[in-house]
């Protein structure tokens, strides 16, 4: 099977279980070839509480940039008085940039 199809299947399977509320927001990551976007979402109301991308973090699209982005989104969430999140990796493996982002968010003070 195609890698893209398999990733979409994993994404749907994960989203059946994961949802965010105001107590525990869903921290959703999207990685493209040029950029990384992150959102902290309250699924009950359908609101995005905080968002960030690499341009805002002034970082490159590599593992160090992903770690900087994790620290930035953690700071934004803590400013909104949110310390616990549910991590939605978007069907991607917990490896490379995704893992680096998660480590940066944990260093910034978020609890998964």
Confidence of residue 18 (pLDDT cuts 50, 70, 90): confident
Range of the domain at 59: 3-108
For residues 29-37, give the mean pLDDT.
94
- In the prediction, which pLDDT does 94 show? 92
Overall number of domains in the chain = 1
**pTM of the predicted structure, to 2 decimals:** 0.88
* Cα–Cα–Cα angle for 78, 80, 81, rounded to 5 degrees: 60
- In the prediction, which pLDDT does 20 show? 80
Q: What is the domain-level CATH number for residue 25?
A: 3.30.420.100
For residues 4-19, give the mean pLDDT.
88
- In the prediction, which pLDDT does 31 show? 94
Query: Cα separations (Å) of 105 from 22, 32, 61, 65, 86?
Result: 18, 19, 16, 12, 12
The whole-angstrom distance between residue 22's C-alpha and the CA centroid of its chain comes to 16
Confidence of residue 48 (pLDDT cuts 50, 70, 90): very high
């Amino acid at each position: 099977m195609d890698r893209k199809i398999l990733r979409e299947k994993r994404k749907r399977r994960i989203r059946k279980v994961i949802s965010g509320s105001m107590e525990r927001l869903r921290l959703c990551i999207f990685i493209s070839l040029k950029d990384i976007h992150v959102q902290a979402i309250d699924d009950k109301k359908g609101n995005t509480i905080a968002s960030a991308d690499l341009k805002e973090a002034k970082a490159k699209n590599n593992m160090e940039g992903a770690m900087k982005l994790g620290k930035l989104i953690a700071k934004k969430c803590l400013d909104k008085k949110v310390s616990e999140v549910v991590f939605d990796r978007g069907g991607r493996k917990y490896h490379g940039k995704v893992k680096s982002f998660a480590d940066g968010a944990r260093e910034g003070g978020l609890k998964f």
